[in-house]
Chain A
């Protein structure tokens, strides 16, 4: 269960509603074969995705490493995709190369003119992922209490004004990064720079283990069959700032640090570590920096 923690006026505030706006990385697919193309390149089984339903899926390279994570919206006559920040170009290129000459799919980038608002509200978790349409705004839920609204900029701007009027806080990039560290969530920057395997970063829900082949499936199937991962995602604290990248752990092993952010008199970090060291409370050291595992995701 994720924890809503955001910084407001230098204070960590828990269990409240806040929102984040994303201004780009939207693609629309039009054509009767759109879901078939997505089915062949993503980790999810989407060829029969129901009308007006959304689902998350990862896009992998042949080595099983993520190049994007997309939220797929089946809008009946169109399929909308929201990509991770900065990951849309590679996915559009992949999609355009994946459309066979026999298939009818138009791939339309919507990097200007359309936006999405992500409202984090744990108190109103909904299980269904139905898409609700109000005017030109399309809305859906994720399983961890995030409500996502997608639409043209003018409508989204008006929607944002209503959120502000109703007392919902806008979170800035630092606040969003802290939220992601505290909740074990990866973003586009991590995917572009580190190409994680979805099973390592707690995204097994993105994967259908019964759908058959997709790019990278061979690696995922092998990892799943063995049931052992070399690394797993953790939130941990440290006594000093940690540079992003690889670190040697004193006593053996390696740590990959994605982010390090100062908060509440210590540094909070998100990274990958061997599962044997990933349990809550385990302490380890990197040169003169002491670390403590807070959460294994």
Chain B
């Protein structure tokens, strides 16, 4: 049995969500890499960039290729040479101004995100805050 019952669920919640109209950029290398990753699914799939809690500095990026959502009212869309990139409104303030790049190196390579909103990152570079 929980501490509060169903009637108490209407209590005010502690939620802080700042929604902004985000701007996202991607380098030529990143666009080429996105196209390779998506193969022939450019019309039916999108690249979703999200922010999740975790890592030494508080937040981590998550990038997934998923089927284009049927309800996109909570997402913001960006098109790069036919590829659709989406971010959720909840992540818009954190991801506003990011630049997606791709580094073709064996160590620490792959998609990289430069984020002007991140004022700190951990030693391994996977986490930001």
Interface residues of A, Cβ cutoff 8 Å to B: 27-28, 30, 37, 40-41, 62, 73, 75-78, 80, 92-102, 106-110, 114, 133, 138, 150-151, 213-218
**Cβ-defined contact, B14 with A96, below 8 A:** yes
> CB-CB contacts of B98-126 with A at 8 A, as 1s and 0s?
00000000000000000000001011001
* Beta-carbon nearest neighbor of A92 in chain B: B14
Count, chain B residues at interface, CB 8 A: 35
Binds A, one of B1-9, B20-28, B29-37, B39-47: B1-9
Rounded to whole angstroms, the CA-CA distance of A92 and B62 in the bound complex is 23
Q: How far is the CB of B5 from chain A (nearest CB, A)?
A: 9
- Chain A residues with CB under 8 A of B17: 96
**Cβ-defined contact, A97 with B16, below 8 A:** yes
Q: How far is the CB of A66 from chain B (nearest CB, A)?
A: 15
**Cβ-defined contact, A106 with B53, below 8 A:** no
Q: How far is the CB of A207 from chain B (nearest CB, A)?
A: 14
- Chain A residues with CB under 8 A of B120: 62
Rounded to whole angstroms, the CA-CA distance of A94 and B129 in the bound complex is 11
Residue in A28, A62, A95 whose CB lies within 8 Å of B57: A62
* Beta-carbon nearest neighbor of A95 in chain B: B14
Q: A106-B13, A218-B123 are in contact. Are A99 and B53 (CB under 8 A)?
A: yes
- Chain A residues with CB under 8 A of B9: 30, 106, 108
Rounded to whole angstroms, the CA-CA distance of A28 and B9 in the bound complex is 10
Q: Is the interface of B mostly helix, strand, loop or mixed?
A: loop
Residue in B13, B51, B55, B127 whose CB lies within 8 Å of A107: B13
18 additional A-B residue pairs with CB within 8 Å, beyond A213-B55, A214-B54: A27-B14, A28-B4, A41-B53, A73-B3, A75-B1, A75-B2, A77-B1, A96-B17, A100-B90, A101-B50, A101-B74, A101-B91, A102-B52, A107-B15, A108-B14, A213-B54, A214-B56, A215-B55
- Chain A residues with CB under 8 A of B51: 100
- Chain A residues with CB under 8 A of B59: 98
Residue in B4, B91, B126 whose CB lies within 8 Å of A110: B4
**Cβ-defined contact, B91 with A213, below 8 A:** no
**Cβ-defined contact, A40 with B3, below 8 A:** no
Rounded to whole angstroms, the CA-CA distance of A99 and B88 in the bound complex is 13
Q: How far is the CB of B49 from chain A (nearest CB, A)?
A: 12
Q: How far is the CB of A116 from chain B (nearest CB, A)?
A: 11
